[in-house]
Structure 1
Amino acid sequence: MGNEVYVETLKRWSEISRGAFMPTDIREEWGSMEGPVTVSFMLNGEKRTIHPLYQNDFIDVGIVQELNALIADSGYQFAVVHLDQTVFVTVLTAKEREGIEKDRFIEFEF
């Protein structure tokens, strides 16, 4: 609460999104130190809201699923790999993801 971690995260993810996810007016609200958390933003002229789960000191990367639904028509999707307590997030086409999973033996969580 107060660190604007989701505001910063969405800004960073928009930078790697290859133009598929370009939110503006990102706002983060916390009901208390442990949530609930509400993140709202404008995307393609529409107000969107997501609700990350409280994860103590960690970002709820499960929001990727909600974001992927919002950018489904773009041909790109966020993909997540957990490496212990570190999370790697990238944006791929279905073909790119399939190639990486097959050739590099990497399993994406989302």
Structure 2
Amino acid sequence: MPDKAIAGLFNRAGKRTGRSNGWSQSRVRSFRNTHGFAVYRNGEWAERGEVTLTEAARMLNLSSATVLRQIATGIIPAEQYCKGAPWVIKRRDIEESV
């Protein structure tokens, strides 16, 4: 995820910095640089063969809410690494469902 999106995710989850501050794009960038995490690149999801929830819904001609229900019932396999993070859906799983 881009730094700005990570900051939003941390803030919504109530996570604070080590000094009890809220997260900002620059604080995430600083943390990432200090700990050696790679920067997000546009297109890296596609390189890994993954699609977003919105892309999966478009491919299946369904609403995002319907795709979420199918994920919840196990019809569509997907992972969410932490609450509030984007769902990680493999493109091949969507293409096999079509």
Q: TM-score, normalised by structure 1?
A: 0.28
Q: Which is strand-richer, 1 or 2?
A: 1
Larger radius of gyration: 2
Q: Is the helix fraction higher in 1 or 2?
A: 2
Q: If the length of structure 2 is used for normalisation, what is the TM-score?
A: 0.30
